[in-house]
Structure 1
């Protein structure tokens, strides 16, 4: 398979694994704690990223084997490493909120967030969640490229 086909297969596998790892594998405790200040938040984020990365490996390796993809160990380490670091960074929450503010998206970031005394978000989505997921998707693309070409 050529690099474009490898990229497509790896990218789709990572996308699916990301969704499963971020929503099914992540524990409620990790989700609640990963944005807290200090070491308790950092460690909760690290535990989440560890299980998320393990989920990506568990999904990606059978896909690679079944499709006959030739993935290098350095490519996997670099790609999954970049994905893990950027995921942890965004999931600290204050970091992504800061970035949203720097690019003029702070209002969108707060969209749908509960306010004291009233919850104006009758759905699951918020601006913060949309920006979080799109950030992760960007880095999944980078990870898939790195895995496909390194």
Structure 2
């Protein structure tokens, strides 16, 4: 039964993440969440707050419809761990520093995309190495959050 709860919670969190990270996040948050100083921290915090609410709504609907047994403590702990990990990564310099420390620093620089002919290569947006590292980091923590929620 725990395996089914874990799998269902993970799917719900993944759906909520996809919607919250790409549809709910504002253009301002996306452009400024990595900025230095309080303005960047605030943009990132607002993004993480709306993202977490989105995940919570999706999970609540699925849990109610499928009558999943999840505890309030598990939800708070799991979603809290996920939110902290998401904020940490979305400040951008943190995740790129970790990639460099692990010998993956060349990946975000190498995997680029040219959006329009004649433009400089984009190293941060969708389809780039930095974006792939960002999303895989988030998916890792979705799995950890789902495990916490399912077992708490």
Question: TM-score scaled to structure 1, two decimals?
Answer: 0.93
> Gaps spanning 5+ residues in structure 2: where?
none
Distance in 1 between residues matched to 2:73 and 2:32, nearest whole Å: 32
User: Matched residues in 2 for 1:81 and 1:124: separation?
Assistant: 26
1:69 is paired with a residue of what secondary structure? coil
Which secondary structure state, in structure 1, belongs to the residue aligned with residue 62 of structure 2? helix
Tell me, in whole angstroms, the C-alpha distance in 1 between the residues paired with 2:126 and 2:10: 26
Aligned length: 146
Aligned to 2:127: 125
Gaps of 5+ in 1: none
Partner of 1:73: 72
Alignment of 1:18-97 (within 5 A): 18-97=17-96
Whole-angstrom distance in 2 between the partners of 1:75 and 1:57: 12
Q: CA RMSD in A?
A: 1.5
Report SS of the residue matched to 1:8.
helix
TM-score norm. by structure 2 comes to 0.92
Partner residue in 1 for 2:144: 142
Match of 1:12 in 2: 11
Looking at structure 2, the residues matched to 109 and 79 of structure 1 have their Cα atoms a distance apart, in angstroms, of 29
